[in-house]
Structure 1
């Protein structure tokens, strides 16, 4: 479990993933050495990692949420193989280890870009069912952070830590940015010197390009950390069928629920998907019956317990 200083550090990293320890220390009222020590401990003990990611909803890009059913042995092997791919994220084992849930990113308008969904997965032996759901709109997730991680710092502290970035017109990612994004996907806090070594650019060029991409919204920085350190030991993927005319209203309501970390509209037999984090099975049951159960526009609900996250948003470790 985290104490207030740990929670403050994680909240600060959500505000600015590349903020110097000295600036975080100033806002938290502790020494730079204390912040650095806590950061190293959380990396070792709680899987803390800052990752730099491309905007998942940038033009020319499509996101799919795939559900694969297989035998437990096949599911484990396939989940690990999917996690190693550059075009996947959030690879999870669910439903007793017989289901894989994975987000797949593909360029739009390129036939070969859907090879994973159309060719590779269907030809894998041991898979008994496949469904792919196009993510139409994300209400919570990606650059929008789970409220459980960003409820520690005061308004004044948040203002001190928020990066000073002036919005600029979108500047599309270039082919030359791939090495930069690859390095940031492994560790978003790499120094400009380390990023220069990874890209072949100068540190000044790295700093300038990072500033351009952040200001235009092409990239953002996310924070990965084990949910259990926040007291959340029960995870579940929720698949809902909502009256279409009420979908936007229901999804907006769910995006404000503290129990949810992800809410998105999809195609398929269900049209709304969410990811829940709860303290224990009893808390999940209470959420399903007392909060979701009061929303009459939700016509059906399927709950898939998540056993393990094989890969989160960043590059596979």
Structure 2
């Protein structure tokens, strides 16, 4: 089912809120916005980084009239932020509230989250440090902007910056409905993955088989086809695992892998792990049809 309303028109970006942990590509993206006349709101270290790059930035605390408190735990959680994000521009009642409350609309949100997954991956991390890397304001802004993607652009990955700026440069600062819908999809996927990692970390303290288990997966490879040639397929691996069926492998010849090829590779790996020393395994249709040991891989 297509959930995108094709009648939605482009959104003109006049005001952006940027708050990121990963500052990859940040300066160029923000400069691209500024060159298009976009007003930039920002927080803490992000605001300082942008100023260091020579950009004019309005602190969120100045915008809301509320200073950051509790060591930064509360900085964007304010009605002025969320009214500016959630107001439906096509709803006169919503726009009247913005006018009455003197709340400027926010047209673009660029947020990435505290590095929770990277933090808990460290062997020396303690519970308190892990908890402090659970982002609250970031996911809330992302979800608000994504919910109102009819009127707001939301970016959660540096890989998307260039495409959005290129589109805005070609349209005098506008972003199309199709782009906004795709970015909202990416945003909800990102917050779902983030919450899955947090849930998994908490569940480690309890039984091996908890009542609920939430898993996140990321695409590793587009496959040429599924079990049959008319089927589409892709390979995904669980986020957080150290390896997958393709780890340490390289394809030297032949066409793109299919679903059946991946099953054969998995069977090869499982058999090889049961063998000691250099070995060669040949698999067809998921069944070993040749196994050999040797002094080297070539010899086998």
Q: Which TM class, normalised by the smaller chain length?
A: under 0.3
Q: TM-score, normalised by structure 2?
A: 0.22
Q: Which has the higher contact order (CA 8 A, sep 6+)?
A: 1
More strand by share: 1
TM-score of the pair, normalised by structure 1: 0.21
